[in-house]
Amino acid sequence: MGQLLRDIFSFGDRPLSERIVLLVFMAVVLTFPWLAESAYARAVMIKFLLIALFGLGWNLIGGYGGQVDLGQAKNVGFGAYATALMMFHWRTSFWLTVPVGIFFATLESFAVAYPMFRLRGHYFAIATLCVALVWKELFIFWDWTGGARGVEIPIKPTPNFTYMQFGSVGYHYFIFGLFMAQFLFMNWFRKSKLGYQLQAVRDNEDAAASLGINVTGTKVIAYCITAALGAVGGSFMTAYYLYIDPDLVMPLDLSILIAMTVMVGGAGSIWGPMIGAAALIPLDMYLGAWLAGGGHYGIDFMIYGFIIMIIAAYEPKGIWGMIERLTKRG
Amino acid sequence: MELATQLVTYGILIGCVFAFVSLGLSLIFGVMNIVNFAHGEFLMVGMYVAFLMSSYLPLDPLVSLPFAAALGFILGITSYRFLITHILRGPMVAQLFGTFGLMLFLRYLVMFVFGPDVRTLSHGILVGKTFSLGWVSLDASKVMAAGLCLLFFVFVYWMINRTKLGRALRATSLDAEAARYMGIDTENMNALAWGIGGATVGVAGGLLAHFYYVTPTVGMLFVLIAFATVALGGFGSISGAFLAGIIIGLIQVLGGHYLSELKFTFIYIAYFLTVVLRPRGLFGW
Amino acid sequence: MLLRVESLVKEFGGLVANADISLEVEQGEIVGLIGPNGAGKTTLFNCIVGYYKPTSGNVSFVGEDITGWPAHRVAKMGIARTFQNLRIMPLLTVEENIMVGAFCRTGDRQIARRDAHEILELVNLTGEAHASPTELPIASQKRIELARALATKPRLLMLDELAAGLNPLETKEIIQTLHRIKEERNLTLFLTEHVMEFIMIISERVIVMAAGRKIAEGTPEKVAKEERVIEAYLGERYAEGR
């Protein structure tokens, strides 16, 4: 039991400098509602934590597993819709809807995983994209899920712990709590047998098989865990945005954003998702929003695209890879 | 019966266009085993060339086709020299993401400069004109697009299979190292593949602009159609791409007629079923 | 009888890579498999470890029929292998590479790490535990791959061209390492090899293949003198040189 707790909470295998930065980061986030003056800044921080949360989950299959999944948005959608529909139709409390979202995301992922993992590289990536697009179109088409109109959640006076509705400070701690939970889960995961085996599969499938690892089975499990983690974030989106539709919770752009965030930050590293989100979200919410106000759309993604090209060409291990490389020399 | 003929005709017409759109993708993949996610963006640029030239100059959009081809060619070669040569050195994941980044960059560059609004061609010899053939009523622009796509497809096919340059390209795609030993400059061949890929899809974009809406985000849709076509036809097989294009065109038109909100869904499903059930496609290796 | 191969055939399309191969390996033996290029040694190897599925014939291990079993099941049964072209996991440290092997037998990280360190000592790599394997010389990387295979606690260790690319001193060291681990872990070794100096010295029994068939079997000296083997590629030098 003690070992389990240590595996979850301990970062002892990382250098002291990293642990200090982590503590500073947590301190900043914890006190942020008082540090930040504007409601907009608080909204940026919430978006940062949400995307970092999605990144943590994706990092499992995409970073540690090395399988580039471009369809994570479908899992977000499953979580979001499970929560929204149950709240809307049956007034179910938030925490009861989360397992339902997880269940459907995991079930669907398990069903498509075996055929999809017969594919490698590009073909796999495109297949994940297609599956996610098909689901989004089905959700638009299907009346019971509200189609393109989406689902509106009954709004309650805040704070409301049944539906998890709050003011911006409450949402901040809500998403931070979810983020920390998944962050600690990933900390445990990377040290676990499955974590090691998954990385072995990423690095060399044949060798992994020769060491007793069921390659496809491992990939499928990892893919399903990522789906479950994504669904949790989706449920949060419902509670936060109070209105969801396929374009908000399941668009291709979200899948791309999630994957990109981790790739830019450093896939396969526990810090990658946070670094990536820190690099991209403020860029989007400040520069992008500012210019969009003037009628100029798209500069944020233009810069993202450029950053991705640079990373792909010169630093495939992402910003974290660059940091590691530079600090090794020093 | 009339409806069936109408639908099938449209399916074949649009299928010719799809086949030509996927040609560039198949070529690049054949020569250097890399999948170009930005392929749809080159098409989108071709569409904008047609739109802009016909809007700001007193020219018929058809005149813009050579310019769309030229710009596509330049974009292809530039992308190769400045991006692809670098990402080829890295892991496969980086290759995937590199062209992804290019896709985003081009798409949002166009959006930034021209805005996100949907445009259509306002004038042109073929825009909005229809004529009848038997009991089938046809859009002139679609017939012209299909005809030209077919023509250019055959031209590229001829070039690949019957010219010395084409032979060099095929040699590079079969075994780059051996090709180098034979004195073929494989770097130039790779760049050429990208150039031709960009040019063909730029022209396709120019033609599509005649009857499809022009918007910065249209690229994603066409790159997925191209993927589905190449997968069905078999990666590396040009003749396979043609037949597959027709099939995909038919799927889109017939599926779209019965469930119009899901007309592209059928294509995505077609891709998925193809790669899972018959990864080699119809004619690929 | 540890390993038995009966009438194994492996075809690729029209090409017959292995034609009717039968052989046996007893517990505790060191058996070498040699043959000129294209003889089908690696194909046979891969059929046994589950990398390929044989077209026909049987493979049985400790009495159990493992024909056509996938590689990971074969590994769990107790057959470990190394790869000719070194399949080290580049993004994991030396210690982590070996731990992956150890995780075959345990779910506990502490135990896996302890096992890994025991083996690191056995192959003289303790100092490099936290190094990145890609920065180490080839001879060390081979020892890492050996160590990793060993971590799965096999009964039969199959080595694919282990000595390729090693200089004579490194070859001698690796022979010593193999003897040491064989004693320590009570292993049976089955090696395929091109480097004659290595395999003729270490093997107790040698099997010779050519053109997809088994053409000779016996002690290294006996096999080296057989006309068919010499015809295939060996010289009498090796027999006389001992």
Rounded to an integer, the average pLDDT of B37-51 is 92
Domain, as residue range, for B156: 20-216
Helices (DSSP H) in chain B: which residue ranges? 2-32, 39-56, 65-79, 85-87, 92-114, 140-162, 164-174, 176-181, 186-208, 218-233, 238-258, 263-277
Lowest-confidence region among A72-81, A273-282, B152-161, C148-157: B152-161
Q: Chain B window 182-241: which residues touch A at a Cβ cutoff of 8 Å?
A: 216, 220, 224, 227, 231
Of C45, C72, C141, which to mutate for an interface test with A (greatest number of A Cβ within 10 Å)? C72
* Matching residue, tokens 């003690």: A2
- In this predicted structure, the answer to whether residue B6 has a pLDDT above a threshold of 70 is yes
Average pLDDT over residues B267-276: 86
CB neighbours of residue B178 within 10 Å: 12
The answer to which of A145-149, A264-268, B164-168, B278-282 has the lowest mean pLDDT is B278-282
CA distance A258 to chain C (A): 23
Tell whether the model's pLDDT for residue C241 goes beyond 50.
Answer: no
Closest residue in A to C104 (Cα–Cα): A212
Res A330: pLDDT: 46
Q: Measured between CA atoms, how close is A217 to chain B, in angstroms?
A: 17
pLDDT band of C234, cuts 50, 70, 90: low
Burial C98-127 (b: 16+ CB within 10 A, else e): bbbbbbbebeebeebbebbbbbbebbebee
Chain B, 84-143: which have a CB under 8 Å from a chain A CB?
86-87, 90-98, 100-109, 111-112, 115-116
Residue appearing with tokens 């249209």: B218
Q: Which domains does chain A have, with CATH numbers?
A: 2-329 (1.10.3470)
Residue in A40, A65, A54, A25 with CA at minimum distance from that of residue A208: A65
A327/C contact by beta carbon, under 8 A = no
* Residue A67: closest C-alpha in chain B: B93
A210 at C interface, C-beta within 8 A: yes
Position B185 in a domain = yes
Average pLDDT for chain A: 91
Q: Does B268 map to a domain?
A: no
Q: pLDDT > 90: what percent of chain A?
A: 67
Chain A, 301-320: which have a CB under 8 Å from a chain B CB?
A: 301-302, 304-314, 316
Q: In a 3-state reduction of DSSP, which class is residue B129?
A: coil
Could you report the per-residue pLDDT of B219-254, keeping only the tens digit for each? 988 988 998 898 888 877 788 889 999 999 999 888
Out of A72-81, B171-180, B274-283, C115-124, which region has the weakest mean confidence (pLDDT)?
B274-283
Residue A110 pLDDT greater than 60, yes or no: yes
Specify the domain boundaries for CATH 3.40.50.300 within chain C.
Answer: 3-78+155-240
Which residues of chain A lie closer than 8 angstroms to C108, CB-CB?
Answer: 193
**Four-way CATH pick for C3-78+155-240: 1.20.120.1760, 1.20.120.80, 3.40.50.300, 1.25.40.80:** 3.40.50.300
Do the beta carbons of residue B67 and residue B49 sit within 8 Å?
yes
Q: Is residue B263 part of a domain?
A: no
Whether the complex's predicted ipTM surpasses the cut of 0.90: no
A281-303: average pLDDT: 79
For A15-62, the pLDDT digits (tens) are: 888 899 999 999 999 999 888 888 888 999 999 999 999 999 999 999
CA distances from A195 to A208, A218, A257 (A): 13, 10, 24
Is A200 in contact with C100 (Cβ distance < 8 A)?
yes
Give the pLDDT of residue C237.
53
C50 pLDDT above the threshold of 70 = yes
Q: Does A193 touch chain C (CB under 8 A)?
A: yes
Number of domains in chain B: 1
DSSP C219: -
